[in-house]
Amino acid sequence: MASSMLWLGGWSWVILGMVLIGGEVFAPGVFLIWFGLAALLTGAVVGLTDIGWQIAALVFAGFSLVSVLVGRLLMRHRNEEPDAATGLNDRGRQLVGKVFKLEATMLGGEGRIRVGDSSWRVTGPELLAGSEVKVIGVEGATLIVEKA
């Protein structure tokens, strides 16, 4: 009798799912929501069938695995959306294809260009100060240039 009072069936999984989804507000990143979704689905399965807690735990584990994998796919596609494609928050990628003048002669394949009020380190062929260079790529905080 005591164990039946502790086990609320499908409702315990629904409550767990709501707690996990609510916990997403306090946790960095997006991971509790997928376990919360798995718990809600487990609650539905337990509510519709009469399975024991052992099988319910296995169902939860299966739903957790599937929901986390689906969540990773969704997040990966979301991260490849326009912001990542246009380089909105990646200043270096925004400069690819643009032409600038070298501040000083490039020695050893390294030099500097001025972009607005900032100076950028560049690598490329050895050119004289004042030469026009075109940005063709980015490697970390260094721009890769070629003669324009």
pLDDT tens digits along 25-77 = 887 777 899 999 999 999 999 999 988 889 999 999 999 999 999 988 887 76
Measure the CA–CA gap between 41 and 11, rounded to whole angstroms: 11
Domain final residue pick, 59, 80, 101: 80
Q: What is the pLDDT of residues 3-22, one digit of tens each?
A: 443 466 889 999 999 999 99
Co-location of 106 and 126 in the same domain: yes
- Determine the structural domain holding residue 99 and report its residue range: 90-147
Q: Which of 41, 93, 44, 38 is nearest to 67 (CA)?
A: 38
User: Would you say the pTM of this structure is higher than 0.75?
Assistant: no
Polymer length in residues for the chain = 148
Model pLDDT, residue 6: 47
Co-location of 62 and 128 in the same domain: no
Q: How far from chain centre, in Å, is Cα 34?
A: 15
The dihedrals phi and psi of 80, each to the nearest 5 degrees, come to -95, 5
Co-location of 102 and 142 in the same domain: yes
Model pLDDT, residue 86: 56
State how far the alpha carbon of 114 is from the alpha carbons of 72, 95, 100, 102, 109, in Å. 40, 12, 7, 7, 17
